[in-house]
């Protein structure tokens, strides 16, 4: 009975540019099935199993944190060049923040979007996500808190923050609703939205959140500058209706 041919995963397909020459001919000229199987088993895998698992986990979630999966993160950090070589045909790359223990997938700078409108680009494997204006403001506040706590406690130390401490800071920019319940509900909604972007944890039983290091890269100087310019535009046109969304962030 003929055995079923094993299925190669994507890493083996990329590594094998063409089938090995003469394998079929060698078998026809007297190479035994056992000898052929032994030779195949002796051939080393194109990608080490541990690195393969790490890349698969990275592509699954888009982000890999040392605090959650230290062994997989270390595989990516130690062999970044090899991972980027594997991601290059996909117009993707991995960026590693070794100090904060973070690796994440990003669009390669060499990617050329179709069309001439950069604001309408699409990537077949990535999607653009939107932050509302209020989410963007809160993200900027959280980034400031994150960097300040890093300076006080050191890089790589988990940053935890009481939710109540954010209420007066948010009120400065969004104003007071006159109701503590409404303000808490507004903040909870904004935090839940940001949690979907991977920048904060879920609020725990003590009303504390953990700030995740991805926020430093999402709320980078370029995006913050775009937000500032957007706010200046709104200030210059007080009669205009405030839009519900801020400039888009790429993820």
Domains of the chain: 49-112 (3.90.1150.220), 133-236 (1.10.10.2260)
**Which own/partner contact pairs does 171-178 have at CB distance under 8 Å and 24+ positions apart?**
173/137, 174/134, 174/137
The torsion angles phi and psi of 211, rounded to 5 degrees, stand at -85, 125
**Is 104 in a helix, a strand, or coil?**
strand
Q: What is the pLDDT of residues 12-53, one digit of tens each?
A: 555 554 444 444 444 444 455 555 455 445 445 588 999 999
Give me the mean pLDDT over the 221-225 stretch: 67
Q: How far is CA 139 from CA 52, 69, 75, 174, 187, in A?
A: 33, 25, 30, 14, 12
- Rounded-to-integer distance, Cα 62 and Cα 215, Å: 14
Mean pLDDT of 119-140: 78
Tens of pLDDT, residue by residue over 201-215, are 999 999 999 999 988
Query: In the predicted model, what is the mean pLDDT of residues 138-152?
Result: 90
pTM to 2 decimal places = 0.66
Residue 180 belongs to what H/E stretch? helix 180-195
Q: What's the whole-number average pLDDT of the chain?
A: 77
For residues 191 and 211, the answer to whether their CB atoms sit within 8 Å is no
């Amino acid at each position: 009975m003929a055995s079923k041919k094993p299925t190669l995963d994507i890493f083996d397909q990329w590594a094998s540019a063409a089938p090995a020459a003469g394998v079929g001919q060698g078998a026809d000229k007297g190479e035994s099935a056992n000898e052929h199987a032994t030779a195949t088993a002796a051939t080393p895998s194109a990608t080490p199993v541990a690195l393969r698992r790490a890349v698969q986990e990275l592509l699954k979630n888009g982000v890999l944190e040392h605090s959650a999966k230290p062994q997989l993160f270390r595989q990516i950090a130690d062999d970044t060049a090899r991972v980027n070589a594997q991601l290059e045909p996909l117009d993707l790359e991995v960026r590693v923040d070794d100090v904060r223990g973070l690796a994440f997938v990003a669009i390669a700078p060499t990617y050329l979007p179709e069309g001439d409108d950069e604001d309408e680009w699409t990537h077949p494997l990535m999607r653009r996500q939107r932050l509302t204006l209020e989410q963007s403001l809160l993200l900027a506040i959280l980034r400031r808190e994150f960097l300040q706590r890093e300076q006080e406690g050191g890089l790589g130390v988990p940053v935890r923050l009481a939710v109540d401490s954010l209420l007066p800071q948010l009120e400065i920019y969004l104003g007071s609703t006159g109701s503590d319940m409404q303000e808490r509900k507004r903040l909870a909604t904004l935090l839940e939205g940001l949690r979907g972007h991977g920048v904060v944890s879920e609020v725990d039983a003590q009303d504390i959140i953990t700030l995740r290091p991805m926020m430093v890269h999402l709320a980078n100087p370029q995006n913050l500058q775009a937000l500032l310019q957007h706010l200046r535009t709104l200030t210059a046109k007080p009669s205009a209706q405030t839009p519900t969304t801020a400039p888009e962030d790429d993820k």
